[in-house]
Amino acid sequence: MESEGKDQAELDKEFEAMCLSKAEEFRLLGYEYVTAQDIWECVSRNYGKEGTPALHRIVNDIYSLKVTTYMNYVTIAMYKGLK
């Protein structure tokens, strides 16, 4: 069981690095206040309903996230009072 915890911790670090990379990409496009946490919240918003997807889907969700999808998420979150 202990190795599973280490594996999950390593995956979490990798996901964080991917989200940091995507946030940096958005900053280069002029969205300077986007953080890795914002990216993760946007990408993972449906994981609670659908369950945790396969690893390759999470990676794809992070790296294929478009600015328009992110901005739609932020707009809806503001209307719902989530942010």
Question: How does pLDDT run across 4-62, given as a tens digit for each residue?
Answer: 556 888 989 999 999 999 999 999 999 999 999 999 999 998 888 888 899 999 999 99
CA–CA dist 20, 76 (Å, integer): 23
| Full domain range(s) for residue 41 | 2-80
For 61-73, the pLDDT digits (tens) are: 999 999 999 999 9
Q: How does DSSP classify residue 65?
A: -
For the chain, what is the domain count? 1
Q: Are 74 and 58 in contact, with CB atoms under 8 Å apart?
A: no
Residue in the structure block whose two tokens are 């953080």: 35
Q: Can you give the pTM of this predicted structure?
A: 0.84
Q: How does DSSP classify residue 51?
A: -
CA–CA dist 20, 12 (Å, integer): 12
